[in-house]
A and B are shown apart, each in its own frame.
Chain A
Amino acid sequence: MSEGKTYVEDVNRAFYDFRFEEKDSFRVQSGLTREIIEQISAEKGDPAWMRDFRLRSLEIFHATDMPLWGPSIEGLDMDNIVTYVRPNTERMHTKWEDVPEDIKDTFERLGIPKSERESLAGVGAQYDSELVYHNVRKEVAEQGVVYTDLESAMHGEYGEMIREHFMKLVPPTDHKFAALHGAVWSGGSFVYVPPGASVEIPLQSYFRLNAAGAGQFEHTLIIVDKGAKLHFIEGCSAPKYNVANLHAGCVELYVGENASLRYSTIENWSKNMYNLNTKRARVEKGGRIEWVSGSFGSHVSYLYPMSVLAGEGAACEFTGVTFAGEGQDLDTGCKIVHGAPDTTSHVNTRSISKSGGVSTFRSAVVVTEKAEGSKSSVSCQSLMLDPISRSDTIPAMDVRTSKADIGHEARIGRISDEAVFYLMSRGLSEEDAKALIVSGFAENVSKELPLEYAVEMNNLIRIEMKGAIG
Chain B
Amino acid sequence: MGAELLRVEDLEVSVGEKEILHGVDLTIGRGETHVIMGPNGAGKSTLAGALMGDPEYTVTSGRIFFDGEELQELAVNERARRGLFLSFQNPVEVPGISLENFVRSALEQRTGKKIRIWEFRKQVRKVLETLQMDRSYAERDLNVGFSGGEKKKAEILQMLLLSPTLAILDETDSGLDVDAVRTVSEGIREFQKDRSASLLIITHNAAILNSLEVDAVHILADGRIAASGGKELIPVIEREGFAEYETSQREEAGA
* Contact of B92 with A426 in the complex, beta carbons under 8 Å: no
| Interface: B102 (CB within 8 A) | yes
- Neighbouring B residues of A436 by C-beta, 8 Å: 94, 96-97
Nearest-Cβ distance from residue B210 to partner chain A, whole angstroms: 28
Neighbour of B80 across the interface among A427, A430, A446, CB < 8 A = A427
| Interface: A234 (CB within 8 A) | no
- Neighbouring A residues of B97 by C-beta, 8 Å: 436, 439-440
0 or 1 for each of B49-77: is its CB under 8 Å from A? (1 = yes): 00011111000000000000000000111
| Assembled-state Cα–Cα distance A435/B97 (Å) | 11
| Assembled-state Cα–Cα distance A417/B103 (Å) | 20
| Assembled-state Cα–Cα distance A423/B81 (Å) | 12
Neighbour of A421 across the interface among B54, B81, B94, CB < 8 A = B54
Interface centre among B85, B96, B107, B162 (most CB of A within 10 A): B96
Neighbour of B76 across the interface among A424, A437, A440, A443, CB < 8 A = A424
Nearest-Cβ distance from residue A94 to partner chain B, whole angstroms: 39
| Given A421-B76, A422-B88: A428 touches B109 (CB 8 Å cut-off) | yes
Nearest-Cβ distance from residue A344 to partner chain B, whole angstroms: 25
Nearest-Cβ distance from residue A286 to partner chain B, whole angstroms: 33
| Interface: A166 (CB within 8 A) | no
| Interface: B39 (CB within 8 A) | no
| Interface: B158 (CB within 8 A) | yes
* Contact of B55 with A428 in the complex, beta carbons under 8 Å: no
| Assembled-state Cα–Cα distance A416/B91 (Å) | 13
| Given A418-B92, A430-B75, A436-B97: A425 touches B56 (CB 8 Å cut-off) | no
- Neighbouring B residues of A425 by C-beta, 8 Å: 52-53, 76-77, 79-80, 85-86, 88
Nearest-Cβ distance from residue A429 to partner chain B, whole angstroms: 5
| Interface: B95 (CB within 8 A) | yes
| Assembled-state Cα–Cα distance A441/B144 (Å) | 13
A-B contact count, CB below 8 Å?
76
| Given A417-B56, A429-B109, A432-B109: A424 touches B77 (CB 8 Å cut-off) | yes
Neighbour of A440 across the interface among B55, B79, B80, B94, CB < 8 A = B94
| Interface: A410 (CB within 8 A) | no
- Neighbouring B residues of A201 by C-beta, 8 Å: none
Interface centre among A422, A433, A440, A446 (most CB of B within 10 A): A422
Q: Give the residues from 410 to 467 in chain A that come closer than 8 angstroms, CB to CB, to chain B.
A: 416-419, 421-430, 432-433, 436-437, 439-443, 446
Nearest-Cβ distance from residue B16 to partner chain A, whole angstroms: 14
- Neighbouring B residues of A440 by C-beta, 8 Å: 94-97, 141
* Contact of A441 with B158 in the complex, beta carbons under 8 Å: no
Question: How many chain A residues touch the partner (CB < 8 A)?
Answer: 24
| Interface: B160 (CB within 8 A) | no
0 or 1 for each of B103-138: is its CB under 8 Å from A? (1 = yes): 101110110000000000000000000000000000
Interface centre among B53, B92, B102, B103 (most CB of A within 10 A): B92
Neighbour of A426 across the interface among B55, B56, B162, CB < 8 A = B162
| Given A426-B162, A427-B77: A419 touches B94 (CB 8 Å cut-off) | yes
Neighbour of B77 across the interface among A416, A417, A428, CB < 8 A = A428
Nearest-Cβ distance from residue A427 to partner chain B, whole angstroms: 4
* Contact of A427 with B94 in the complex, beta carbons under 8 Å: no
Interface centre among A419, A421, A429, A430 (most CB of B within 10 A): A421
Nearest-Cβ distance from residue A417 to partner chain B, whole angstroms: 6
| Assembled-state Cα–Cα distance A428/B107 (Å) | 9
- Neighbouring A residues of B52 by C-beta, 8 Å: 421, 425
- Neighbouring B residues of A442 by C-beta, 8 Å: 96
- Neighbouring A residues of B106 by C-beta, 8 Å: 426-428
Q: Give the residues from 233 to 251 in chain B that come closer than 8 angstroms, CB to CB, to chain A.
A: none
Nearest-Cβ distance from residue B59 to partner chain A, whole angstroms: 15
- Neighbouring A residues of B95 by C-beta, 8 Å: 440-441, 443
Nearest-Cβ distance from residue A281 to partner chain B, whole angstroms: 29
Interface centre among B52, B97, B103 (most CB of A within 10 A): B97
Nearest-Cβ distance from residue A342 to partner chain B, whole angstroms: 32
Which residue of chain A lies nearest to B108 when distances are taken between CB atoms in the complex? A427
- Neighbouring A residues of B75 by C-beta, 8 Å: 424, 429-430
Neighbour of A416 across the interface among B92, B109, B162, CB < 8 A = B92
* Contact of A423 with B94 in the complex, beta carbons under 8 Å: yes
* Contact of B96 with A422 in the complex, beta carbons under 8 Å: no
| Assembled-state Cα–Cα distance A429/B79 (Å) | 11
| Assembled-state Cα–Cα distance A416/B53 (Å) | 16
| Assembled-state Cα–Cα distance A421/B95 (Å) | 16
| Assembled-state Cα–Cα distance A421/B162 (Å) | 17
Nearest-Cβ distance from residue A455 to partner chain B, whole angstroms: 13
- Neighbouring B residues of A423 by C-beta, 8 Å: 92, 94
Nearest-Cβ distance from residue B149 to partner chain A, whole angstroms: 18
* Contact of A441 with B102 in the complex, beta carbons under 8 Å: no
- Neighbouring B residues of A441 by C-beta, 8 Å: 95-96
| Assembled-state Cα–Cα distance A442/B80 (Å) | 27
0 or 1 for each of B141-164: is its CB under 8 Å from A? (1 = yes): 100000000000000001000100
- Neighbouring B residues of A446 by C-beta, 8 Å: 96
A-B contact pairs, 21 of them (CB 8 A): A417-B55, A417-B56, A419-B92, A419-B94, A421-B52, A421-B56, A422-B88, A422-B91, A425-B76, A425-B77, A425-B80, A426-B85, A426-B102, A426-B103, A426-B162, A427-B77, A427-B109, A430-B77, A437-B96, A440-B141, A441-B96
Residues of A within 8 A of B (CB): 416-419, 421-430, 432-433, 436-437, 439-443, 446
Given A422-B91, A423-B94, A427-B162, list of 5 further CB < 8 A pairs? A421-B53, A422-B94, A427-B106, A428-B106, A440-B141
Residues of B within 8 A of A (CB): 52-56, 75-77, 79-81, 85-86, 88, 91-92, 94-97, 102-103, 105-107, 109-110, 141, 158, 162
Instruction: Please provide the 4 A-B residue pairs with the shortest distance between their CB atoms, ordered closest to farther.
Output: A440-B96, A424-B76, A427-B80, A440-B95
